[in-house]
C-alpha cells in the first residue's frame, strides 16, 4: 500500500544534472513528496521555508555553493542540523567520502548508482530519524505539567488546549509563542497538533475562537463587532467571513435565527 499524500516523507533533491535530477525525482515520487533543484542557492531558498525529511545532495554543484558548502551550512544551523543528508558524487574517492562523513553527512553514494539502493538508504535513514524524533518528542511532552491523566497524548492535549484557551482572545500571540510555551520547536508542535486534531495549529486556534464566538452570540453577550474584537480579530469583515465558512451563516443571520428559535420555544 502506498502512503497517503499527507503521510509521505518530504525529500529535497539537489542535483545540477537535469537528466539525473528528473530520473531521481520520478523514481522517488512513487512513495515520497519530492522537490528538486539544480543549485545550492535554490536549495537554501527552499530550506528557508521548508524542513524536508531528507536531502539528497550532489557534491559537485555549480559556483558559488558546492555540496560541501551546503552541508557545512546545514550542520551549523540548529533548525536544519538534524536533517539526514545523503551525498551523491561521481568521485569515488576515499578522501572525499571521509570528508563528507566527517562533516556530518549520514551516507555517501557514488554515481552511477541503482535506484533501489538509493531508495533503501532513504527508507532506512528516515525510519531511524523518525524513531529518534518520536522518542525525544514523547520525553518532551511527558515533562509538561498536567500529567495526572495516562498517556502522553493526553498530556499534550491538556497543555496545548490550556494555552490556547489562555490566549484565544489575543491577536498578538503567534504559533512561535505557543511553541515556546510548550518548550517545543514549531515543527514539532505542528506535527503533534496535526496528529491529535487533524488540523494545523493556526486552524485549531481560529476554530476555537469561532466556537467561543458562537456561544457568545447565542447568549447575546455583545454585538458582532464587540465579540470580534474581544476574541482578537483585527477585522470585523474577516471575522464574519470565517464565521460564515464554519457555520454557513453570517454572525448576524446566525444570531437572528437562534433568537427566533428561542422565542418559539417559549
pLDDT at 146 over 70: no
217 close to 228: Cβ distance less than 8 angstroms = no
In this prediction, residue 157 carries a pLDDT of 85
pLDDT bracket for residue 172 (50, 70, 90): low
| 33-47, 58-72, 114-128, 131-145: the lowest-pLDDT one | 131-145
In this prediction, residue 71 carries a pLDDT of 95
Instruction: Report which DSSP code applies to 107.
Output: E
In this prediction, residue 109 carries a pLDDT of 93
More confident residue, 224 or 174: 224
Dihedral sign of CA atoms 200, 1, 8, 141 in order: positive
Q: What are the φ/ψ torsions at residue 2 (nearest 5 degrees)?
A: -80, 145
DSSP H stretches of helix in 143-200: 152-167, 175-181, 186-197
In this prediction, residue 143 carries a pLDDT of 61
Q: Which residues have C-beta within 8 Å of that of residue 252, sequence separation ≥ 6?
A: 224
C-alpha–C-alpha distance, residues 175 and 186, integer Å? 7
Mean per-residue pLDDT of the chain: 85
Residue indicated by cell numbers 558524487 = 89
In this prediction, residue 138 carries a pLDDT of 65
More confident residue, 58 or 232: 58
Q: H or E segment at 12?
A: strand 9-14
Q: What are the φ/ψ torsions at residue 85 (nearest 5 degrees)?
A: -125, 130
C-alpha cell at 218: 447565542
pLDDT at 147 over 50: no
pLDDT at 6 over 60: no
In this prediction, residue 42 carries a pLDDT of 96
> What domains, with CATH codes, occur in the chain?
9-135 (3.40.50.2300), 152-265 (1.10.10.60)
Give pLDDT tens digits for 68-119. 999 999 999 877 888 999 999 887 777 888 889 999 999 999 998 989 999 9
pLDDT at 56 over 50: yes
What would the mean pLDDT of 160-189 be, rounded to a whole number? 79
14 close to 55: Cβ distance less than 8 angstroms = yes
Flag whether the pTM goes above 0.85. no
What would the mean pLDDT of 60-66 be, rounded to a whole number? 92
Angle at 85 between CA 81 and CA 87, to 5 degrees: 135
Give pLDDT tens digits for 23-43. 999 999 999 999 999 999 999
Amino acid at each position: 500500500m502506498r502512503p497517503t499524500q499527507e503521510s509521505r516523507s518530504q525529500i529535497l533533491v539537489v542535483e545540477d544534472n537535469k537528466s539525473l535530477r528528473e530520473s531521481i525525482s520520478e523514481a522517488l515520487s512513487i512513495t515520497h513528496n519530492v522537490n528538486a533543484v539544480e543549485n545550492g542557492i535554490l536549495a537554501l531558498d527552499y530550506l528557508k521555508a521548508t524542513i524536508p525529511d531528507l536531502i539528497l545532495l550532489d557534491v559537485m554543484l555549480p559556483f558559488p555553493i558546492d555540496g560541501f558548502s551546503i552541508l557545512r551550512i546545514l550542520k551549523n544551523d540548529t533548525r536544519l542540523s538534524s536533517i539526514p543528508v545523503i551525498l551523491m558524487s561521481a568521485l569515488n574517492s576515499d578522501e572525499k567520502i571521509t570528508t563528507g562523513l566527517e562533516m556530518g553527512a549520514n551516507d555517501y553514494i557514488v554515481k552511477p548508482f541503482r535506484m533501489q539502493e538509493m531508495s533503501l538508504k532513504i527508507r532506512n535513514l528516515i525510519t531511524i530519524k523518525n524513531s529518534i524524533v518520536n522518542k525525544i518528542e514523547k520525553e518532551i511532552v511527558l515533562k509538561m505539567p498536567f500529567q495526572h491523566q495516562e498517556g502522553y497524548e493526553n498530556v499534550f492535549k491538556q497543555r496545548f488546549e490550556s494555552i490556547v484557551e489562555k490566549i484565544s482572545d489575543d491577536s498578538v500571540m503567534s504559533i512561535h509563542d505557543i511553541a515556546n510555551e510548550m518548550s517545543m520547536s514549531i515543527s514539532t508542535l505542528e506535527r503533534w497538533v496535526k496528529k491529535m486534531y487533524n488540523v494545523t495549529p493556526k486552524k485549531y486556534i481560529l476554530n476555537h475562537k469561532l466556537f467561543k464566538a458562537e456561544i457568545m452570540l447565542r447568549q447575546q453577550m455583545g454585538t458582532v463587532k464587540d465579540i470580534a474584537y474581544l476574541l482578537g480579530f483585527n477585522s470585523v469583515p474577516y471575522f464574519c467571513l470565517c464565521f460564515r465558512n464554519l457555520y454557513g451563516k453570517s454572525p448576524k443571520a446566525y444570531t437572528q435565527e437562534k433568537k427566533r428559535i428561542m422565542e418559539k420555544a417559549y
